[in-house]
Amino acid sequence: MTQLLRTEKKLFAAALVLGVVFAGCKREDKPAEGSGPAAGGASGTAGATPGDGPILVGEYSSMTGAEATFGQSTHNGIMLAVEEVNAAGGIKGRKVEIKLYDTQGKTQEAGTAVTRLITQDKVTAVLGEVASSLSLAGGAVAQQFGVPMVTPSSTNERVTKIGDMIFRVCFIDPFQGYVMAKFSRDNLKAAKVAVLYDQSQAYSKGLKDAFVKSFTEMGGEIASEQAYNKGDSDFNAQLANIRDAKPDAIFIPGYYTDVGNIALQARKLGITAPLMGGDGWDSSELPKIAGEAIEGGYFSNHYSHEEQRPEVRNFVKAYQAKYSAVPDGLAAMGYDAARLLFDAMKRAASLSGKDLAQAIGETKDYASVTGKITIDAGRNARKPAVVLQIKGGKHAYVATIDPK
C-alpha cells in the first residue's frame, strides 16, 4: 500500500471522528462572509423537511488559500444558479439559500465544514469541494449522516466510491487521462511523454496513473516519471531528469499554483517541449504566474466559453452581467452542480436524504453548460471533455473528445 493511500485512509477515519465529535457540540465561529443565514432551514440529518421556509443547501469551498480561485469561481457559479432558480419561483414554492464555509484549501477543514453544515446548520444537501482530497474528507461525513453531496469538479474516481450519497457532475480521472493521452498521440503526434505529478494530491496522482495507462496502451512511451509535493518551490532536479529524457511533451497534472512555477523553471532549463495538464490548470492566475513560459500549453477541461450551444451562450452572458468576467470551467461546474441538484429536488418524492439521492441518481441527458449529463450507476457523470490551449494568456478552444 502506498503512503498516499495510507494517508487517505487516515483522513477518511478522521472525517468520521469529526462527525461524531461535532454532532454532540456547538461552535460559535462566524460563517464565511456572504454565506447566508446563521442556521436553520431544511433538515438534512433526519430527512424530515419542513413544508415552508427556505431550503438550505450547504457549500464548502476553498475561498482562500493556495487554490482560492477554484473556490471563488465555483461559488460564483452556484450563486448565479440560486439567483435564477429563486427568480423562477424557487423549488415547490420555496426559496433556496446557500450556507458557505471556507475550507482554506485544507483537508482537515473540509471534514469540519461538512460536519457543521449537517449537524449545526441542518442543510438538505451539500455542494463541494473542488479538490478531490477535500471531497474525500467531506464526503465521508456526508455519507455518514445520509445527506446527498454533489461535487462540481472532484475528478478522482475514489470520491463517489465513498457511498450512495456522493455524486459528481464532472468526468473522472480515467476519462480525463484518456483525453490527454489521445490528444497527445493524435494531435501532437507525441511518441515519448514525460510526467511530473504531485504525489501528495489524490487528484494529481489519479490523473497521472490514468494518463500513463492510456498513453502506453496507445503505443506511446513514458520517457520519465517524476514526482513532487504540494508547496515545493524547487523542481530543478526533476526537470533536469526530464530534459535528459528528451520527451516530445510533458504532462503536468497539478494545480495552477505549482504548475506556474514548474513552467518557469522548465523554460529556464532550456526545455522547449509542449506542456500539458488537466483541469487543475483552469485559473486566470496561471498565465499571471508563468507568463510566456506557459504560452501554448494544453489542458483538458469541462467546457469552453467559445462554444455556441445555447446553454453556454446564455450562461456566459448571465455570468458576465453579474460578475463582469468570462466564466472559467470551475464557474460552469459550480453552476451545473447547483442546477442539477435543484432539478433533482423538483423531481424528488421528498427532500429526505434517500429520496433526494434517488432523484439525483435518476438524472439522464440533463442539458447543462458543460454538456449533457447522465448520472451512471457509479454516481458519476458521463459527458465529453474539451482541450484548451493557452494563447495570449487566454484559453482557446482546440478540440472536443467524447467518452470511449
Q: What is the phi-psi region of residue 278: left when phi exceeds 0, alpha when psi lies from -120 to 50, beta otherwise? A: beta
How many Cα atoms within 13 Å fall on the side-chain side of residue 248? 16
| DSSP letter string, 258-309 | HHHHHHHHHHHTT--SPEEE-GGG--THHHHHHGGGGTT-EEEES--TT---
**Per-residue model confidence (pLDDT) at position 51:** 62
Instruction: Give 403's pLDDT tier (boundaries 50, 70, 90).
Output: confident
**Per-residue model confidence (pLDDT) at position 63:** 98
**Per-residue model confidence (pLDDT) at position 402:** 87
pLDDT digits (tens, 9 = 90+) for 314-340: 999 999 999 999 999 999 999 999 999
Say yes or no to pLDDT of 181 above 60: yes
Note the Cα 362 to chain centre separation in Å: 21
If one counts every other C-beta atom within 10 angstroms of the C-beta of residue 192, the result is 16
Mean pLDDT check: name the lowest of 4-8, 11-15, 108-112: 4-8
**Per-residue model confidence (pLDDT) at position 360:** 98
Q: Is the CB of residue 396 less than 8 Å from the CB of residue 306?
A: yes
Dihedral angle, C-alpha 222, 228, 231, 235, nearest 10 °: -80
Mean pLDDT of 331-358: 98
Closest by CA position to 156, among listed 128, 176, 185, 182 = 176
Closest by CA position to 338, among listed 157, 167, 136, 104 = 167
pLDDT digits (tens, 9 = 90+) for 84-105: 999 999 999 999 999 999 999 9
Say yes or no to pLDDT of 375 above 80: yes
Q: What is the mean pLDDT of the chain?
A: 89
**Per-residue model confidence (pLDDT) at position 31:** 36
Q: Is the dihedral of CA 202, 208, 209, 211 positive or negative?
A: positive
pLDDT digits (tens, 9 = 90+) for 123-148: 999 999 999 999 999 999 999 999 99
Task: Report the share of the chain in percent with pLDDT over 70.
Answer: 87
CA gap 348, 352 in Å, rounded: 9
Instruction: Give 271's pLDDT tier (boundaries 50, 70, 90).
Output: very high
Q: Which domains does the chain have, with CATH numbers?
A: 3-171+311-383 (3.40.50.2300), 173-301 (3.40.50.2300)
Return the exposure string of 238-267: e unless at least 16 CB atoms fall within 10 Å of the residue's CB, then b. bbeebbebebbbbbbbbbbbbbbbbbbbbb
**Per-residue model confidence (pLDDT) at position 24:** 35
**Per-residue model confidence (pLDDT) at position 28:** 31
**Per-residue model confidence (pLDDT) at position 191:** 98
Q: Which three cell numbers stand for residue 314?
A: 446564455
Return the exposure string of 377-404: e unless at least 16 CB atoms fall within 10 Å of the residue's CB, then b. eebbbbbbbbbbbbeeeebeeebebeee
Task: Report the share of the chain in percent with pLDDT over 90.
Answer: 83
Specify the higher pLDDT residue, 269 or 35.
269
pLDDT digits (tens, 9 = 90+) for 182-212: 999 999 999 999 999 999 998 999 999 999 9
Mean pLDDT check: name the lowest of 10-24, 219-233, 298-312, 371-385: 10-24
Say yes or no to pLDDT of 361 above 60: yes
Say yes or no to pLDDT of 394 above 60: yes
pLDDT digits (tens, 9 = 90+) for 19-55: 433 333 333 333 333 333 323 333 334 333 446 799 9
| Residue written as grid cell 494545480 | 255
Say yes or no to pLDDT of 71 above 80: yes
Question: 111: helix, coil or strand?
Answer: helix
